[in-house]
Amino acid sequence: MNFKNKLVHDLKAISGDKHILTTLWRKEKYCKGWRYGEGKALAVARPGTLLEIWKILKICVKKDIIVIVQAANTGLTGGSTPYGDDYDRSIVIINTMRIDNIQIINNGKQIIGLAGSTLYDLEKKLKPFKREPHSVIGSTSIGASIVGGVCNNSGGSLVHRGPAYTELALYAKVNTEGELELVNELEINLGENPKEILNNLQKANYNESDIIKSNKLASDNKYSEIVREIDSNTPARFNADKRLLYNASGSAGKIVVFAVRLDTYPEPQKKQVFYVGSNKPDDFWQIRRDILKTFKSLPRLGDYVHRGCYDAAKKYSKDNFIVIERLGTNFLPTLFELKRYVDIISSKLKFFPDYFSDRLMQFLSNFWPNHLPKRMENFRDLYEHHWIIEMTDDGIDEANKYFKQFFKDKKGDYFECNEYEGKKAMLHRFVSASAIGRYHALNGKNSGEIMSMDIAFPRNEKEWFEKLPPEIDKLIEVKFYYGHLFCHVQHQNYILKKGIDSEKLKEKLLKIYDQRGAEYPAEHNVGHEYFAKPILTDFYKKLDPKNIFNPGIGRTSKFKNWK
């Protein structure tokens, strides 16, 4: 029996034939990123228990196999799949989505999320406790995992919560001697050896007395103060922030995380969405400063959409909007799954056009009437810049009084959304992220490459809205701008003119951001799209000294021992 066959035989003995994938057809959706990057894997393992993950890891480490762990594979920078074919060892992908247990502890004030558990399921589980997870927008809708969010320091669109963070986790790592270790930092007494610990956690076989009241953090307790520091010359949040790099948090796949322990948050009693429009970026700059400096209550969120992105989302993200609105967010992961399968099948059949699923969904969406409220559409015609601000409880009156006063002598305006308009506005902003991909799929033959920038600007930056030098601006065909204005994180998406080298253009743009004191990426992690800065590279090397897990992340070495 050759090396590959012996490895596959051993893996099947752990998880069963059905859950060890070896054919190209079955592996494809796990080997290709949701939006970016792809590569080859010898096999994809879909273990059903934490102990199965441990057993698979033991085999892979012993046989000198690269391991890439993924959950929902919804990342935007390709960080949970292989990338290219220049690795020095074979790769096994471990997909954790069958291990989706969520355990509620401390009367709902904390949870334990196992390797494949999702934010969407957590949101549902916490409803009876009138609590919320860290993220309740965007990531919940596409089925993103709890552990993935922590490993990538994701999130932060909720102004008072910051990036996903914990110091309480259960994980495996390979030490400097090349030995696999299980590290229990959950601060729950689960046993003495890996088999006991993993089985007891999987079955929730522990008592309240086994849960240690830890002084370690299970969320970022500083962010609500940091985001208010409006005169600071550094960004509020970004992936290479040393403050938020702690074992599982920010690990980006350099250790194998079995579970995390996280805080939850009380649901607000009241919520109110304010829709704000202006033609002057300085108006939004002033509003941001005033709210963060003077309001007693921080906004729940504040998401920006430029008119160009508004229009693109109205046309090219209409189908996603309708699906979520009519069928609920729980159907969206299923839709993406179907879309992937359709694209895989159609790519094998020559008579189908490229991006067949996108073309079909776009065609069908044309038959649906306009889905956006009249007041939003009126603001679209009047104003270039749109800001969706959600306030809660006492902050609602604060905001109402402030906006009435602010727009007395300004040409911009605002309105208080009713429940129908508020849901529509929030959903329109969320689906805007998919517009650039659809636009490019339908118009790609006449344009160049896609380039997406995830930039965190300093908190004191006044020129938050991008003004590109003419020599760069002329290379770009279309721009889509959206972001999180209170924390100064901007998602700047471009479709380049045909023939323009995206890597060279990115280099020029990043130099401009460096000169302005910006950090990048802000929340999507480095993946294989960005170069990891020295702080991140050193952190990765400390976690994974032999470079066995997810090598090449942040465009670092893909070779054993970091050669």
Residue-wise pLDDT tens digits, 245-281: 999 999 999 999 999 999 999 999 999 999 999 999 9
What the block records as the tokens of 412 is 């911009």
DSSP 276: E
Instruction: Give the pLDDT band of residue 138 (cuts 50, 70, 90).
Output: low
pLDDT of residue 477: 96
Q: How far apart are CA 263 and CA 120, in angstroms?
A: 16
Indicate whether 47 pLDDT > 60: yes
SS3 281: helix
For residues 7-20, give the mean pLDDT: 97
Residue 548 tokens read as 């066995």
Q: Tell me, what's the pLDDT at 349?
A: 74
In angstroms, what CA-CA distances link 271 with 128, 206, 250, 490, 517? 19, 37, 31, 25, 35
- Say if residue 139's pLDDT is above 60: no
What pLDDT score was predicted for residue 328? 65
Average pLDDT over residues 189-203: 97
pLDDT bucket at 323, cuts 50 / 70 / 90? confident
Tokens matching residue 444: 């790609």
29 residue type, one letter = K
Where would I find the H helices in 295-393?
307-316, 318-327, 332-348, 356-365, 374-382
Q: Which residues, 6 or more positions from 404, have their beta carbon under 8 angstroms from its beta carbon?
A: none
pLDDT at residue 74, rounded to an integer: 78
Distance CA 427, CA 313 (A): 10
Q: Look at residue 343 and tell me whether its pLDDT is greater than 80.
A: no
pLDDT at 469 over 60: yes
Distance CA 25, CA 32 (A): 12
Q: Which tens digit of pLDDT belongs to each residue from 427-459?
A: 999 889 889 989 998 988 889 999 999 999 999
**pLDDT at site 140:** 44
